[in-house]
């Protein structure tokens, strides 16, 4: 990344303008920020680590599979079973009331 920055600055200086240099530096910084976001950042004093995109996707995918009770998928399955039990109980109760 440093080599690319040096080449860009040299080209801008040859082109003859500090405005061009500033614009190139802004673009290089944005590209560097995007790369840091993709890869993630290690922890440093006072700042926690930030996982990269692939690590975050893996964590999300893990929540979509049952794992014995702790994933989001397991919670959704439990809520669905509970709702079914409530519906079944309500249907039986309504049927009993109709027969009365």
Over residues 6-19, the pLDDT tens digits come to 776 777 666 666 77
When pLDDT is averaged across residues 49-67 and rounded to a whole number, the result is: 93
Report the alpha-carbon distance of residue 66 to residue 75 in Å, rounded. 9
Question: Are the C-beta atoms of residues 40 and 52 closer than 8 Å to each other?
Answer: yes
Residue 33: predicted pLDDT = 84
Token pair of 38 as six digits: 């993709």
Question: Are the C-beta atoms of residues 12 and 20 closer than 8 Å to each other?
Answer: yes
């Amino acid at each position: 990344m440093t080599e690319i920055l040096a080449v860009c600055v040299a080209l801008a200086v040859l082109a003859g303008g500090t405005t061009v240099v500033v614009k190139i530096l802004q673009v290089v910084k944005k590209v560097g920020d995007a790369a840091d976001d993709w890869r993630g950042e290690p922890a440093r004093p006072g700042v926690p680590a930030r996982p990269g995109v692939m690590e975050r996707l893996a964590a999300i995918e893990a929540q979509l599979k049952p794992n014995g009770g702790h994933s989001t998928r397991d919670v959704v399955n439990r809520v669905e079973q509970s709702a079914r039990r409530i519906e079944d109980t309500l249907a039986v109760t309504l049927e009993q009331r109709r027969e009365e």
